[in-house]
Amino acid sequence: MATNSAESPTEEKPASKKPKDTKFKQQKLPAWQPILTANTVLPAFFAIGIAFIPLGVALLVTSDNIQEFVLDYTNCNNSDMPNQTCSNFLSDPNTTAYHKTCTCKRTVSLNKFEGKVYMYYGLTNFYQNHRRYVRSRDDNQLNGQSIAPGSLNQDCDPYRLLNSSGIAPCGAIANSLFNDSFTLSYKSNDSSENVTLLRTGIAWVSDKNVKFGNPASWSGFTKPPNWRYPVWELDTSDSGNNGYVNEDLIVWMRTAALPTFRKLYRRIDHKGTFSGGLPAGDYEITITYAYPVEAFGGTKSIILTTTSWLGGKNPFLGIAYLVVGSLCIILGIVFLIIHLKFGKKHSDMTSVTNRDAY
Q: Are residues 78 and 119 in the same domain?
A: yes
pLDDT by residue (tens digit) across 187-205? Answer: 988 788 999 999 999 999 9
pLDDT band of 88, cuts 50, 70, 90: confident
The pTM for the full model equals 0.80
Residue 119 CA to residue 284 CA, distance in Å, equals 14
Q: How many beta carbons lie within 10 A of that of residue 196, not counting itself?
A: 15
46 and 98 belong to one structural domain: no
349 found inside a domain? no
19-36 core/surface letters (b: 16 or more CB in 10 A; e: else):
eeeeeeeeeeeeeeeeee
Contacting residues for 176 by C-beta, under 8 A, at least 6 apart? 226
> Total domain count for the chain?
2
Q: Do 265 and 337 reside in the same domain of the chain?
A: no
Name the helix (H) or strand (E) containing 268. strand 261-268
Output phi, psi for 97, to 5 deg. Answer: -60, -40
Residue 70 CA to residue 122 CA, distance in Å, equals 9
Q: What secondary structure letter does DSSP report for 77?
A: B
Does any domain span residue 355?
Answer: no
Q: Are residues 177 and 321 in the same domain?
A: no
150 close to 287: Cβ distance less than 8 angstroms: no
Do 80 and 90 reside in the same domain of the chain?
yes
Residue 304, Cβ neighbours under 10 Å: how many?
Answer: 22
The alpha carbons of the chain give a radius of gyration, in whole angstroms, of 32
CA dist 142 and 168 (Å) reads 9
CA distance 158 to 55: 49
Question: 47 with 179, same domain?
Answer: no
Based on the fold, state whether residues 101 and 85 are members of the same structural domain.
Answer: yes
Residue range 265-290, pLDDT digits in tens = 999 999 988 998 999 999 999 999 99
Residues 326 and 229 in one domain: no
Same-domain check for residues 320 and 195 = no
Q: What is the pLDDT of residues 30-78, one digit of tens each?
A: 888 887 888 888 999 999 999 999 999 999 999 999 999 999 999 999 9
In a domain, 25, yes or no: no
Both 62 and 94 in one domain: the answer is no
Note down the domain range covering 332: 38-66+316-344
For residues 112 and 247, membership in a common domain is answered with: yes
- Does 138 share its domain with 201? yes
Q: What pLDDT is attached to residue 164? A: 84
